[in-house]
Amino acid sequence: MACTVAGNEREIFRFFKKAGCCLRCCLRFIGSRNAEFYEDPVSYLQKLKYLDEAEVVDNIPCIVCLGILQNNLLEVAIQKASEEIIAGNYDCDTFTLALTIPVTTILRERSLQIYLGQSLTLPPDVFLDLKLHTQSVKEVWKIFSVPKIEELTKKIGESGRTFSPFLVDVLFSHSCDEEECVSLLQKCNTARQFKARRRNADVNYSRKNVESTLETLSDEQFEKHSPIPPKSVESFASVDKVICAHSSIYIGGRYKKMSRNLCQTPWLINGEKKCETSVQELLCDSIVKYVKADSMKFLSSGREDVDVRTLNEGRPFAVELVNPRVTKIPDDLRELVLEINESTEDVKVTNSLKVLSKLDLKKLKEGENEKTKNYRALCIYKPKPDTLNLIQGLNDMTKLKIVQKTPMRVLHRRPLVPRVRIVHSMRARLPTPEELKNFSGAINNLGINNIFILDVKTQAGTYVKEFVHGDFGRTVPSLCDLLQTDVDIIALDVTGINLNWP
Ligand SMILES: [Zn+2]
């Protein structure tokens, strides 16, 4: 405790007590930091002779904390928080406790400070010292509650500099909160803005706008808008709810897409599913179930069209798992991979799955535009005398610059900007009988004349279908330009996404 306050401590304590503060609020206003005093304020204060015999029962709702720091409500809150933590079944060994308390406690504390200044004659540095050393309701609540919640839940409460990824928020409310805050805001000079916002979006008072309003008010102005001292209250605050949430974890790997009839993500038009299932659902449902998450977000390095397969090493992907209960995840997720791969023929996890770091995720994002991709396209052309020679010539082209306007088929979701893309290399040849068989679904009635296979390595983000058929002149040059005849694409596979992943 600051020595300037020490000489007047009893007088100051008596003042707060008489004004209607609970014992713990009195202690925090005189700047006490000792956990033992907060644990059992009565014994401590009796020893100091700060308390009369009649005052040991602390059962009238405190005018500042509204009972949040009084025994009954402390116990209720600790019990409720512990029950919620246990019921949540989180495997995390630690927790960070957060507290949401009625906003009017800030108003009431300010009112009380002004009242103190009006009531006691103390040197100015004592007032300054008191303000500086006042402990917040939240800090005192945590000093008292964290050890008890630790005991009940067998988890460790993190506080101060380290934060647990598992956050427990205890929300208190009080019936006087809204009225007092709204009344202040309406009377202040922000009233006009406030009303306008309220009418538009039914915006209520928030901690932020009450705090910023208070900052602009001098003590004299505050006094006009709010009662000094704070009015007594008839009821205690109550524990509204306890919200438990673990921060997201990410799991990723690579997948092969074997089907030419599968969307990447659920495709809904007017709430109706356009594909029976999707890459996302086939891959992620098991993972979400495994970690017992509330929801998920699918992230991938680019996407393939419904009719395009992704082969070989597969496409890098990650899943954000929101509010997972299971976070102690073994390095070896082979069983989960097996479960996914056995559940479907259309999608396969290649290699392994792993828990990802923030850095991994950055790599996935960057890889989307910076890396190269390999494709295999089955193309058909209208033969002209020189076409075979021109096809042969493709093999010698490297670093071909093409300009692509946004393709017709994605115009509805991408802005219209011409973009330069690099086609690093091409290799054209006739398909083998085996390959023709693989493509059979795609070529069906087309026969096998006038077709060739093009392996192409491009800058990520190149529209390969459009590079082949030209998209009505929107991609220049296209294979139609290079081969001086009509060329179309029958089938496309992604054969390589060149990213070191996972
Ligand atoms: Zn109190």
Contacts of 464 (CB under 8 A, 6+ apart): 375, 377, 456, 458, 489, 492
> Residue with structure tokens 């082979």?
334
Average the pLDDT over 269-297 and give the result. Answer: 91
Report the CATH number that the domain containing residue 409 is assigned in CATH. Answer: 3.30.70.3190
Give the residue with greater pLDDT, 87 vs 408.
87
Q: For the ranges 9-13, 266-270, 297-301, 460-464, which has the lowest average pLDDT?
A: 266-270
Q: How far is residue 252's CA from residue 326's CA, in Å, rounded to a whole number? A: 16
More confident residue, 61 or 130: 61
Give the long-range contacts of residues 294-300, CB within 8 A, separation 24 or more. Answer: 294/322, 294/323, 295/322, 295/323, 296/320, 296/321, 296/322, 297/322, 298/265, 299/252, 299/361, 299/364, 300/264, 300/364
Query: Does 33 map to a domain?
Result: yes
Out of 189-203, 281-295, 341-355, 419-433, pick the least confident: 189-203
Residue 158 lies in a domain: no
371 pLDDT more than 70: yes
Neighbouring residues of the ion ligand 1, judged by CB less than 5 Å: 22, 25, 62, 65, 69
Phi, psi (degrees; rounded to nearest 5) at 381 = -140, 160
- On whether both 337 and 359 belong to a single domain, the answer is yes
Domain span holding position 253: 248-369
If DSSP codes are grouped into helix, strand and coil, which group holds residue 502?
coil
Q: For 349-369, how does the pLDDT look when each residue is reduced to its tens digit (9 = 90+)? A: 998 999 999 889 988 887 777
Q: Considering 346, 369, 392, which residue would you say is the last residue of a domain?
A: 369
- Residue 166 falls inside a structural domain: no
In what helix (H) or strand (E) does residue 393 lie, and over which residues does it extend? helix 387-394
Q: Beta-carbon neighbour count of residue 103 at 10 Å? A: 22
Give the number of residues written for the chain. 502
pLDDT band at 66 (very low <50, low <70, confident <90, very high): very high
Question: What pLDDT score was predicted for residue 249?
Answer: 97
d(CA 1, CA 132): 11
- What is the Å distance from ligand 1's center to 63 Cα? 7
The residue-averaged pLDDT of 286-302 equals 94
Q: Is 82 left (phi over 0), alpha (psi -120 to 50) or beta?
A: alpha
CATH code of residue 330 = 3.30.70.2510
Give residue 21's pLDDT: 94
> Is 90 exceeded by the pLDDT of residue 447?
no
- Whether residues 83 and 229 fall in one domain: yes
Same domain, 300 and 394: no
Band (pLDDT 50/70/90 cuts) for residue 440 is low
- 115 alpha carbon to ligand 1 midpoint, in Å? 16
In a domain, 460, yes or no: yes
What's the gap in Å between 165 CA and the centre of ligand 1?
A: 30
Give the per-residue pLDDT at 439. Answer: 67
- Indicate whether 346 belongs to any domain: yes
Same domain, 118 and 227: yes
Cα–Cα distance, 246 to 398 (Å, whole number): 50
Q: What is the 3-state secondary structure (H, E, C) of 13-29?
A: HHHHHHHCCCHHHHHHH
Give yes or no: residues 307 and 403 share one domain: no
Are both 305 and 402 inside the same structural domain? no
- Looking at residue 195, its pLDDT comes to 53
> How much is the average pLDDT of 195-216?
67
Q: How many angstroms is it from 26 CA to the middle of ligand 1?
A: 7
Query: How many Å lie between the centroid of ligand 1 and the Cα of residue 149?
Result: 21
Domain-terminating residue out of 337, 369, 401: 369
Assess whether 375 and 267 both reside in one domain: no
Do residue 289 and residue 219 come from a single domain?
Answer: no
Residue 382 in this model has a pLDDT that exceeds 80:
yes
Q: CA dist 207 to 138, 159, 210, 367, Å?
A: 14, 22, 5, 41
Last residue of a domain, one of 322, 354, 369: 369
Same domain, 399 and 278: no
Report the number of distinct structural domains present in the chain.
Answer: 3
| 388 falls within a domain | yes
> Burial of 166 by CB count in 10 Å (0-12 exposed, 13-18 middle, 19+ buried)?
buried
Distance from Cα 137 to the centre of ligand 1, integer Å: 8
Do the beta carbons of residue 170 and residue 64 sit within 8 Å? no
Same domain, 339 and 417: no
Residue 192 or residue 476, greater confidence: 476
Residues 104 and 177 in one domain: yes
- Written in H, E and C, the secondary structure of 137-187 is HHHHHHHHHHHHHHHHHCCEEECCCCCCCEEEEEEEECCCHHHHHHHHHHH
How do residues 135-184 score in pLDDT, each as one tens digit? 999 999 998 999 999 999 999 999 777 899 999 999 999 998 888 888 88
The type of residue at 462 is T
Q: Are residues 212 and 75 in the same domain?
A: yes
Give residue 200's pLDDT: 42
Please give the average per-residue pLDDT across 388-410, as a whole number: 92
Query: Which pLDDT does position 192 carry in this prediction?
Result: 52
Please state, as a whole number, how many other Cβ atoms lie within 10 Å of the Cβ of residue 416. Answer: 8
**pLDDT at residue 121 in the model:** 86
Active site amino acids: 305
Mean pLDDT of the chain: 88
Residues 6+ apart with CB under 8 A from 356: 250, 251, 252, 318, 502
- CA of residue 185 to ligand 1 center, whole Å: 24
